[in-house]
Homo-oligomer: A and B are copies of this chain.
């Protein structure tokens, strides 16, 4: 009975890869870098991931599930939506995006070179779902009267663009002031002025 593949080791490699891919991009990151960061030998990386590409693919696609859970579950509570719930939802989004620095940089890397990475497709699909949710929120808000007349499509595009831009344009995200700025600005996209 030999040692079975250790899920823990896989995770360490995965995390090391995500960290390095996000800081240095795909090509600049070497398997050796990853193995050292993960504290395993060079060859071990290939025990858990067939290719460098497969490892990158995992880094792009696997965290998407967590995103789906965090971002799309608001769908079920649309009926009870209020202006306060919206505000807390937006705050949650901002916080979540600012937290997932490593992952979103990798996503940014893929988005920036869409012809190069086939993973783009999955990201597009997720973006689509997210914008659908936003549109449903806007529609509900207008019906309930706590959001001003707006084009739900436009807010869908604008809100996602803003979340990404907030995360990707600035480096200094420990800054509380910045976080608050983003929360307020995001609400303005929904037409909420304060």
Measured CB to CB, the residues of A under 8 A from B are 2, 22-28, 43, 105, 108-109, 111-116, 120, 127, 148, 151, 153-155, 157-166, 168-171, 177-178, 180-182, 184-186, 188-189, 191, 193
Nearest-neighbour CB distance to chain B for A149, whole angstroms, equals 8
Chain B, residue nearest A155 (CB): B185
How many copies of this kind of chain does the complex include?
A: 4
Nearest-neighbour CB distance to chain B for A174, whole angstroms, equals 14
Q: Which listed residue, B164, B169, B181, touches A153 by the CB 8 Å rule?
A: B181
Nearest-neighbour CB distance to chain B for A111, whole angstroms, equals 6
- In the bound assembly, the distance between CA atoms of A168 and B181 in angstroms comes to 20
A157–B185 CB distance below 8 A: yes
